[in-house]
Amino acid sequence: MIVATAGHIDHGKTLLVRTLTGVDTDRLPEEKKRGMSIDLGFAYKPMASGKVMGFVDVPGHERFVRNMLAGVSGIDYALLVIAADDGPMPQTEEHLAILDLLGIDQGVVALTKIDRVDEARIKDVTEQIEFLLMETGLEGSEILPVSAVTGDGIDELKEHLAIASELIGDRDVHGNFRLAVDRAFTLQGAGLIVTGSVFAGAVNVGDQLTLTPGGQSVRVRGIHAQNEEAEAGAAGQRCALNITGQNLTKDDVHRGGWLVADAIHDPVPRFDARLRVLPSEAKSLKHWTPVHVHLGAAEIPGRVAVLEDKNIPPGESALVQIVLDRRTGALRGDGFILRDQSATRTVAGGRVLDPHGPARGRAKPERLAAIAAMEERTAADALRKILDQQALGVDLPAFIVSWNLNDDEQAALWDAVEIVRAGENLETGYAPAHWTNIRDGITAALRAWHENAPEKPGPSADGLRRETGVRMPTKRFTPIIETLVADGTIINRGASYFLPGFEPQLSSKDEALWKRVKPILEDGHTKPPVVHDIAERIKSPAKAVESFLVRCARLGLVYRVAKNRFLLPDAVLELGEIAEALGRESKEQGFGAADFRDRSGVGRNLAIEILEYFDHAGLTWRSGNERKVLKPAAEVFGDTPG
């Protein structure tokens, strides 16, 4: 369990942590000199259960709220410290609001410095605090009077924390590993050390991880979990990882970065979220307000795009898109806080819903529905809703990263949700009803195409997309037809798509012409006459014969070897096999055009035309005057349709 302190300056947070753990977390000379905390402090306390409790001690000064924010995300339990003499003060309220906005709803209040006040005052302040906690996540939390000076109430507080840690237990370790970096330093003899709270998943010595947003690859050489040397670390612990990586230096790692499993390295420039504006704000939060965004241990300037209305009144919540000045790691469910542009006031906070919100059309009704679906409690419920909404399919890799689902969790998701997954990597998901619609649309479009043009091959992928009339980008359409080809619903040949069983046919006019031209081509075999000569022999215009032969080529009846020369498939295969034999015989050296001319007997000009056609078709590879054969001729020309 990780406990973080919270509360106004000088109310006794650091001394209380020292009393509980024996560790003075104010280590900076500046902190000692000024008698106040500036940065985060860390302390650990082994407990009777054998577990170790981690403490994050935060500074109370209003100028260091940003440091406080880096410390409290990713904790399990709040220790709100309020001095009995002062009672609740501005940062008591601000820290409490931050804990509430981050969704931290487990904790205890330590009413400190009771040695300085009388019983009546304790009763009075306790009532004030009960009132203060109302309608926050910490409503009803225990309020324990203590004195770090006399030791009064300290045993009760220790007892309380021990029980809380048993009740909370080990956090559910789900998802891929994710640690919010709050410190990075080099240690003599060990190298680079990175510390932080583990938000999700587990890590083992030897694991490969990625630094977000930079993308550097690192390896874990050693782990300290809750201050003890360990083989592994997991969610709910503070960890120090000794990492190495190519050319990796301390400058590559900063507070605010993330150390994550490769699968969830996905820095985003914006995210969609639900945002709540603090009731204490004087004015509504306007669209495009500049703010400081605190998420994990990061602080990034950005702006708020209000999606549903023009602004959000104090105390209200609404869907927003947070647009960041630079990329950061953010996943669904992450809590975040917004402070005003001059970083003097906490204004609002909320939860990330969709880290893959689009820059354009972010406030369209269908987007609002998609964001709202991400508010569902489980990935399965959210996916069901989104599949239902999105007739044109859902980007599954993005969804999986958003929810940080590991392999087992993904498998469970596919079991739980009725879904058709399409594409080479099953990357697009469809609700079964939507899938059936799209499939039927495609087969209907193909059927209409074949009926209209029985002599033509089917359309290309892009043509098919247009014929089907679905409004989706090629990138989304391609996986669909890949899947339909794989399951045999449609057939792909060359660049064309067909319905099964469809064979393109010549029109009756072309069929009659073919009966006259085919014998001429057969006669010529590897040396057929050019188009012009064929036209003369059958007494037809050359243009008409050429376009007729182009139609035949589309059906695979002939190959167009050169602009004015068409050969029958068996002649092309025979010539291809001659090239293949020459390639085999000439080995490394390759063969020349003259070799091919001599062996095939087709004459110099035609030999060159044919060889250039072979280069183009991928049978041969030309370098200088020599050619090599890349694959068997039968593989390139053996299986011709029609």
Binding pattern to ligand GTP, positions 145-174, x when CB under 6 A?
--xxx-------------------------
Phi (first) and psi of residue 591, to 5 degrees? -120, 160
Of the candidate spans 143-151, 186-194, 440-448, 499-507, the one that interacts with ligand GTP by CB under 6 A turns out to be 143-151
- State the binding partner of 417 from Mg ion, ligand GTP, none, CB within 5 to 8 A by kind: none
Q: Which of 258, 251, 250 is nearest to 193 (CA)?
A: 250
* Sign of the four-CA dihedral 392, 395, 396, 401: negative
- State the binding partner of 145 from Mg ion, ligand GTP, none, CB within 5 to 8 A by kind: none
Binding pattern to ligand GTP, positions 61-80, x when CB under 6 A?
x-------------------
Q: Which is nearer to ligand GTP, 4 or 305 (CB)?
A: 4
User: Smallest gap, in angstroms, from Cβ of residue 20 to ligand GTP?
Assistant: 12
The distance between the two most distant Cα atoms of the chain, rounded to a whole number of Å, is: 121
Of positions 23, 24, 36, 530, contacts ligand GTP by CB under 6 A: 36
* Sign of the four-CA dihedral 188, 194, 198, 201: negative
Q: What angle do CA 620, 624, 630 make, to 5 degrees?
A: 20
- State the binding partner of 115 from Mg ion, ligand GTP, none, CB within 5 to 8 A by kind: ligand GTP
| Contact status: 14 vs ligand GTP (CB under 6 A) | yes
Of positions 4, 6, 9, 261, contacts ligand GTP by CB under 6 A: 9
* Rounded Cα–Cα distance for residues 552 and 560 (Å): 9
| Contact status: 113 vs ligand GTP (CB under 6 A) | yes
H helical segments located in 417-473: 432-452, 461-468
Of positions 14, 112, 402, 406, contacts Mg ion by CB under 5 A: 14
Of the candidate spans 10-18, 209-217, 250-258, 390-398, the one that interacts with Mg ion by CB under 5 A turns out to be 10-18
Look up residue 538 and give its DSSP letter.
H
Of positions 21, 37, 216, 346, contacts Mg ion by CB under 5 A: 37
| Contact status: 144 vs ligand GTP (CB under 6 A) | no
Q: Say if strands 191-200 and 178-187 run parallel, antiparallel, or are unpaired.
A: antiparallel
Nearest position to ligand GTP, beta carbon: 60
User: Smallest gap, in angstroms, from Cβ of residue 86 to ligand GTP?
Assistant: 10
User: Smallest gap, in angstroms, from Cβ of residue 68 to Mg ion?
Assistant: 10
H helical segments located in 331-473: 365-373, 379-389, 396-402, 407-416, 432-452, 461-468
- State the binding partner of 11 from Mg ion, ligand GTP, none, CB within 5 to 8 A by kind: ligand GTP
Determine what percent of the chain falls in helix, strand and coil, rounding each to the nearest 5: 40, 25, 35
Q: Which is nearer to Mg ion, 41 or 267 (CB)?
A: 41
Q: Which helix (H) or strand (E) holds 518?
A: helix 508-524
* Rounded Cα–Cα distance for residues 462 and 560 (Å): 24
Q: Where are the beta strands (DSSP E) in 128-167?
A: 143-145
What are the DSSP calls for 320-338, one per residue? EEEEEEEEE---TT-EEEE
- State the binding partner of 357 from Mg ion, ligand GTP, none, CB within 5 to 8 A by kind: none
Q: Which of 302, 313, 301 is nearest to 275 (CA)?
A: 313
CA 198 to chain centroid: 19
Residue whose tokens read 């009659």: 512
Give SS3 for 620. strand
- State the binding partner of 148 from ligand GTP, Mg ion, none, CB within 5 to 8 A by kind: ligand GTP
Q: Which is nearer to ligand GTP, 149 or 416 (CB)?
A: 149
Residue type, 436: T
Buried b (16+ CB within 10 A) or exposed e, 102-124: bebebbbbbbbbbeebeeeeeee
User: Smallest gap, in angstroms, from Cβ of residue 21 to Mg ion?
Assistant: 13
Torsion of CA 465, 471, 473, 478, to 10 degrees: -40
| Contact status: 60 vs ligand GTP (CB under 6 A) | yes
User: Smallest gap, in angstroms, from Cβ of residue 85 to ligand GTP?
Assistant: 8
- State the binding partner of 112 from ligand GTP, Mg ion, none, CB within 5 to 8 A by kind: ligand GTP
Of the candidate spans 6-14, 531-539, 569-577, 603-611, the one that interacts with Mg ion by CB under 5 A turns out to be 6-14
Q: Which of 108, 94, 301, 69 is nearest to 197 (CA)?
A: 69
Residues 6+ apart with CB under 8 A from 329: 178, 212, 213, 257, 258, 260, 264, 265, 266, 267, 268, 296, 298
Q: Which is nearer to Mg ion, 58 or 108 (CB)?
A: 58
- State the binding partner of 10 from Mg ion, ligand GTP, none, CB within 5 to 8 A by kind: ligand GTP
- State the binding partner of 420 from ligand GTP, Mg ion, none, CB within 5 to 8 A by kind: none
Q: Which is nearer to ligand GTP, 13 or 351 (CB)?
A: 13
Number of residues in contact with ligand GTP, rule: CB under 6 A? 20
User: Smallest gap, in angstroms, from Cβ of residue 127 to ligand GTP?
Assistant: 20
- State the binding partner of 161 from ligand GTP, Mg ion, none, CB within 5 to 8 A by kind: none
Of the candidate spans 7-15, 252-260, 423-431, 575-583, the one that interacts with Mg ion by CB under 5 A turns out to be 7-15
The answer to whether the CB of 567 falls within 8 A of the CB of 559 is yes
Q: Which is nearer to Mg ion, 13 or 465 (CB)?
A: 13
Number of residues in contact with Mg ion, rule: CB under 5 A? 3
User: Smallest gap, in angstroms, from Cβ of residue 14 to Mg ion?
Assistant: 3
Going from the C-alpha of 490 to that of each of 336, 451, 493, 500, the distances in angstroms are 48, 16, 10, 6
Binding pattern to ligand GTP, positions 40-59, x when CB under 6 A?
-------------------x
Under the rule (CB under 6 A), what is the footprint of ligand GTP?
9-15, 36-37, 59-61, 81, 112-113, 115-116, 147-149
